Amino acid sequence: MTEFISSVENVSLDVQSELQSFSSDHLLKTLPPWAQMEKEVQKIKENEDVQNALDGDEILEITKDDHDSIYYIKTENAVIRAYINYLPQDMCGPAKFEVNFLDKQEIKS
């Protein structure tokens, strides 16, 4: 009986260790929402179409409409819209995406 209890305890510890390892591995691969947004903003700033639309203007503010995955990039002279297209992925981890320039609307002074 003692041998049975000892083997059950060992199995239980092995399963617990395996679960902890599994959880920590996958948690490290998933970005929190603020970190994902930071990655998206960086990619927007690097996007060639957005750069062309900025035309040298300084970015004053970047906001996101979470409902539509649209970012609004505000400058002194315009509002530029960029869409985040989330790509399918097979594994857990940071969301894969691409930036699509939508349009530029001039601000009238």
Tens digit of each residue's pLDDT (9 = 90 or more) over 16-73: 555 454 444 444 466 788 999 999 999 999 999 999 999 999 999 999 998 889 999 9
Q: Choose among 73, 71, 66: nearest CA to 51.
A: 73
Q: What is the spatial order of strands in the sheet that 97-106 belongs to?
A: 61-65, 70-74, 78-86, 97-106
Q: Which two tokens stand for residue 101?
A: 């320039």
pLDDT digits (tens, 9 = 90+) for 79-96: 999 999 999 988 888 889
| Structural domain of 24 | 1-30
Q: Are residues 24 and 73 in the same domain?
A: no
In the chain, % of residues over pLDDT 90: 58
Q: Are residues 48 and 85 in the same domain?
A: yes
Residues 22, 37 within the same domain: no
Is the same domain home to 36 and 69?
yes
Single pTM value for the model: 0.69
Both 41 and 21 in one domain: the answer is: no
For residues 54 and 87, membership in a common domain is answered with yes
The count of structural domains within the chain is 2
Q: Does one domain contain both 44 and 82? A: yes
pLDDT value of residue 16: 53
Q: What are phi and psi of 77, to 5 degrees?
A: -110, -10
